[in-house]
Structure 1
Amino acid sequence: MLRDPYWNALVPELTVDQIEVSLRFYTTAGFSVRFQRDAPPFAYLELGQAQLMLEQQHERGWNVTPLDRPLGRGINLQIEVPDANAVRSALVATGVTIFREVKDTWYSVTPNVQKGQRELLVQDPDGYLLRFAQHLGSRGTA
């Protein structure tokens, strides 16, 4: 029996300047291309259960105001990865500048429990801020 592929209920679509440049960045970070179209240039990407769409800027695009760089100001997209250090190494090897180095952070989720993640923040070629996060587990608080 064929099973339908997993589709997220919420999938951000990012407007990009040059889709091929963006695809090189995202595939280096570990994403794979689920499908791609040429008119307009578009790609649907996935990494584990994280999904993201990229569309090259064009005159019929769904942008409500002029796009000022860097794009995506005021938002960061968290993407769960199995190994944040491996993502860092792959990106640095291609010349990507790190916005915030790998750091372990613990967040309170209830009064007595924290969830940890190893985080790396980088900007993609258009300036979108991405937080690659490796799950570290839970711990109790004193």
Structure 2
Amino acid sequence: MSDGDQLIKEGQSWAIIVPALVVSSLERSVDVYTRLFGFELDHTEPERFAVVQLGGGQIVLNQYRPDDPMVVAELSTPFGRGVAIHVRTSDPKPVYEALRAEKYPIYVPMELSEFTQGDQRYTMTSFVVQDPDGYLLRFSD
């Protein structure tokens, strides 16, 4: 395995930056990311890792193992303290409504933010949700 291309679906390629998140339960995280957050499962090695994809981006979910060389210090829950991932989507509202229908906790409710760059004014609709291990995901348009 030279570049790992066989770990993602045919015709796709790895994004330029792919976060790898250590998770306490791979099965639970794959369920939340696919069923609730709208990601697709690209590849899984049960009890080891899974690659989930949304649009052109991927996230690797790594099952926590104390002997994993990527774990550089003892972990305690929640693992995701301080990690936030921005997920761009054409419309975050369907994901938001699906989460609310499942009574999944929303960390920051849907909001409209305004930004100015030079003489241009932009708006962004977004919300923030926390995955089972404390990683924050901001879904926005």
Relative to the length of structure 2, the TM-score reads: 0.84
Deviation per CA, 1:48-81: give whole Å up to 9, x if none.
1121110110132211111122222223100012
**Percent identity of the aligned residues?**
32
2:126 corresponds in structure 1 to 119
Q: Contact between 2:23 and 2:29, CA under 8 Å: does it hold in 1?
A: yes
1:129 corresponds in structure 2 to 136
Q: Contact between 2:15 and 2:56, CA under 8 Å: does it hold in 1?
A: yes
Relative to the length of structure 1, the TM-score reads: 0.83
Taking only aligned residues, the RMSD between alpha carbons, in angstroms, comes to 1.6
Deviation per CA, 1:85-111: give whole Å up to 9, x if none.
111121222331010111111233x32
* 1:16 is aligned to 2:33: no
2:91 corresponds in structure 1 to 83
Tell me how far apart the structure 2 counterparts of residues 4 and 22 of structure 1 sit (CA, whole Å): 25
User: How many pairs does the alignment contain?
Assistant: 130
Q: 2:41 aligns with which of 33, 44, 54?
A: 33
1:137 corresponds in structure 2 to none
Q: Which amino acid aligns with 1:68?
A: S
Gaps of 5+ in 2: 1-9
1:140 corresponds in structure 2 to none
Tell me how far apart the structure 2 counterparts of residues 73 and 49 of structure 1 sit (CA, whole Å): 25
1:49 corresponds in structure 2 to 56
2:5 corresponds in structure 1 to none
Q: Contact between 2:112 and 2:124, CA under 8 Å: does it hold in 1?
A: yes
Tell me how far apart the structure 2 counterparts of residues 114 and 71 of structure 1 sit (CA, whole Å): 37
Tell me how far apart the structure 1 counterparts of residues 77 and 19 of structure 2 sit (CA, whole Å): 18
Tell me how far apart the structure 2 counterparts of residues 94 and 60 of structure 1 sit (CA, whole Å): 35
Q: Contact between 1:25 and 1:91, CA under 8 Å: does it hold in 2?
A: no
Cα offset for 1:31? 0.1
* 1:71 is aligned to 2:79: yes
More displaced, 67-76 or 79-88?
67-76
1:93 corresponds in structure 2 to 101
Q: Which amino acid aligns with 1:12?
A: P
Cα offset for 1:35? 0.8
Tell me how far apart the structure 1 counterparts of residues 140 and 13 of structure 2 sit (CA, whole Å): 21
